Amino acid sequence: MTRIQHGRTLVRLEETHFEPWSELAAFERAAALDDGKTGAASVFVGTMRDFNAGDDVEQLFLEHYPGMTERELEHIAAEALERWPVNAALIVHRVGLIRPGDPIVLTAAWSAHRGAAFEACRHLIEALKHRAPFWKREDLRDGSQRWVAENTPA
């Protein structure tokens, strides 16, 4: 799928299941985050729930706008690096068909200190949820479908 890496920043859209903890370990090795300058990592993993708005959800189809979505995610990662003393940032996001329990999104930030890592990681997920062009179609247990109008609040 789409993979955009600039030094210590990686943004990737993934059409298939991914393992968040394996992704983190691989990124840490590739970005050489064992250099003694990184004392904290903050991680968010979002998984698909089997319910939403009071209904049982069988599966989710996540659409995106190719090119535009990646650019916005890159911009969000760059913002984190500019606003906080962050050594690295990672965003991995699923697209396509997703089932309950599957990871949907992984965001992570590494810094010398926990405060910057926490704040940058929170920025990654909150900005992504509000600005990245994704559209969710839920397939409900009763056989109906609906497009999700808005994200759940933080």
Looking at the chain, list the stretches that DSSP marks H as alpha helix, in order from N- to C-terminal side: 20-30, 68-83, 114-131
Tell me the whole-structure pTM to 2 decimals. Answer: 0.94
pLDDT in tens, the chain (154 residues): 555 566 689 999 999 999 999 999 999 998 889 889 999 999 999 999 999 999 999 999 999 999 999 999 999 999 999 999 999 999 999 999 999 999 999 999 999 999 999 999 999 999 999 999 999 999 999 999 999 988 777 7
Amino acid found at 74: E
How far apart, in whole angstroms, are the C-alpha atoms of residue 12 and residue 34? 22
